Amino acid sequence: MMRTTDVVVRREVVRVWNIVRTDLDAWLLHNNGEPTPFILVGSPGIGKSFGVGSHLLYELLHYAPDRLDVVASLVHDRMYIFYLPRGGEAGRVECYKKDDGADCVMRLSKVGKRGYMILDVKKGESLPTHVPSESWGSIVLSSPNKLNFRVWCESNTEPRFLYINRYHAREMKAYFAWMRRADLATAGGNAAVRAELENSWNSMEDRMHEVGQAPRY
């Protein structure tokens, strides 16, 4: 089984980060216009929150020194605001309720802080609209349900849509092999283990035919 220290980063996740990073570079390094508001759309269960959201947060916290001041991450009804280290001052994080966090982000923007927002929207939840989406970079993580991001589209000029592809069958097989790697190491000389692995993989293939390539299910 996978240990708690194992990390899996999909190619699709890296692709999204490369698009975001290119936009960040144009805005912060080359002073080429304003940041682009992104909306990332993907089917439920393919890792928008724990995969893309977590990876984007990690990369943003390690982005070019002295270029980005703050990263804000909205998860459900909580806004986490990360202050990056500056001038010998250690970085820190603060947690707010959604609306209080949005107010804090607006105050930071008004005093000239440069930031990026990761906004994870769930069914039945609303995105804050009183945030500096024109002066800060932003990406909304959403399912294909247009109700999740309709208001965001109305309050932002020409947001750019990104689409994350579902898992490929090869990725699922690699995921299965990694989880069962200890058994695979002994399967060559143990017919019972080999048969159990084959049965487990066949069951996983049947499940994928029913619900698609989504690890959650």
CB atoms under 10 Å from CB of 27, counted, come to 20
Separation of alpha carbons 117 and 136, rounded Å: 7
pLDDT, tens digit, 9 for 90 and up, residues 137-192:
999 998 888 888 887 887 777 889 999 888 888 888 888 888 888 888 887 778 88
Arithmetic mean of pLDDT over the chain = 86
pLDDT, tens digit, 9 for 90 and up, residues 91-111:
999 999 999 999 999 999 999
Q: What is the pLDDT of residue 4?
A: 59
pTM summary value: 0.84
Q: Where are the domains of the chain?
A: 11-163, 169-211
pLDDT value at 13 more than 70: yes
Q: Helix H segments across 119-180?
A: 150-155, 169-179
Q: What is the pLDDT of residue 118?
A: 95
| Fold category of 11-163 in CATH | Rossmann fold (3.40.50)
